[in-house]
């Protein structure tokens, strides 16, 4: 009974906050609602018994990806009038895309319910009493799908290198801090004692 109540509460919160993501006037509020949606989706994962996935969803999406979203969106100078400008013009395209997505989702749901094309495929191994779902995922990921796992890693690596090469600039004439040199300084290399005659003074050019 409690599980059912929890499910309906979490599901309602997820749907409502997802709706508010698209209807909120302020983009920052949209991102905050998105975070709420992620978080309650993680709650739904917990109810399914997939606590590992739930935690990963929170760590990766809520803890890192959404922070960067928020980081960018916060710095936008939002003009609400301009935001609404193209609404009527893009509405037909938006309706078509949404319609296609809805149709696809319904078809997939029906296919899954009936077995469909994936009926013969081996389902993911469920967590059992002696095997937590971390172990279950680990075994599948590092044995059956190890090549896909590696390939996904390489794709991410390439994306990372691409982002770095796009943004890396070597500007000449910038003084950079070299911690090794700073720490390696001592009285001998950093300072020089000059004995000056009284009244003669010292030109700055005479110093090293």
Residues lying near another protein in the complex (CB under 8 A) are found at 2, 26, 28-29, 32, 35, 42, 51-52, 55-56, 58-59, 62-64, 67-68, 70-71, 74-75, 132, 134, 177
* Least gap, CB of 50 to another protein (angstroms): 10
- Smallest CA-to-CA distance from 40 within 52, 58, 27 is with 58
131 strand-pairing partners? 128
Taking the complex as a whole, the smallest distance from the CB of residue 80 to another protein amounts, in Å, to 14
Output 115 or 153, the one with its CB closest to another protein: 153
From the number of C-beta atoms within 10 Å of its C-beta (0-12, 13-18, 19+), residue 53 rates as middle
Closest to another protein by CB, 10 or 42: 42
* Least Å from the CB of residue 52 to another protein: 6
Residue closer to another protein, measured from CB, 177 or 195: 177
Those residues with Cβ within 8 angstroms of residue 34's Cβ, 6 or more apart along the chain or in another chain:
17, 18, 21, 66, 69
CA 195 to chain centroid: 62
Q: Nearest approach, Cβ of 8 to another protein (angstroms)?
A: 18
Q: Which is nearer to another protein, 2 or 93 (CB)?
A: 2
Nearer to another protein by C-beta: 71 or 145?
71
Q: In the bound complex, what is the minimum distance in angstroms from residue 141's beta carbon to another protein?
A: 15
Looking at the chain, the number of H-run helices and the number of E-run strands are 10, 0
How many Cα atoms sit within 13 Å of 52 on the Cβ side? Answer: 10
Which residue, 4 or 121, has its beta carbon nearer to another protein? 4
Would residue 115 be called left, alpha or beta, if left means φ above 0 and alpha means ψ between -120 and 50 degrees? left
30 φ/ψ angles, rounded to the nearest 5 degrees = -55, -45
Nearest distance, CB of residue 43 and another protein, angstroms: 12
Residue with tokens 């916060």: 74
């Amino acid at each position: 009974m409690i599980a059912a109540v929890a499910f309906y509460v979490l599901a309602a919160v997820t749907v409502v906050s997802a709706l508010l993501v698209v209807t909120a006037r302020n983009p920052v509020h949209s991102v905050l609602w998105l975070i709420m949606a992620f978080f309650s989706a993680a709650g739904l994962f917990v109810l399914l018994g997939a606590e590992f996935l739930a935690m990963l969803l929170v760590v990766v999406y809520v803890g890192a990806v959404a922070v960067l979203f928020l980081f960018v969106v916060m710095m936008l100078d939002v003009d609400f009038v301009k935001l609404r400008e193209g609404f009527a013009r893009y509405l037909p395209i938006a309706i078509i895309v949404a319609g296609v997505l809805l149709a696809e989702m319904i078809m997939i749901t029906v296919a899954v319910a009936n077995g469909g094309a994936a009926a013969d495929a081996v389902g993911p191994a469920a967590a059992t009493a002696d095997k937590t779902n971390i172990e279950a995922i680990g075994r599948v990921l590092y044995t059956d799908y190890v090549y896909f796992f590696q390939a996904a890693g390489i794709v991410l690596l390439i994306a990372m290198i691409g982002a770095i090469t796009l943004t890396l600039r070597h500007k000449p004439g910038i003084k950079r801090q070299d911690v090794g040199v700073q720490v390696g300084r001592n009285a001998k290399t950093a300072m020089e004692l000059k004995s000056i005659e009284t009244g003669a003074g010292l030109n700055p050019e005479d110093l090293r």
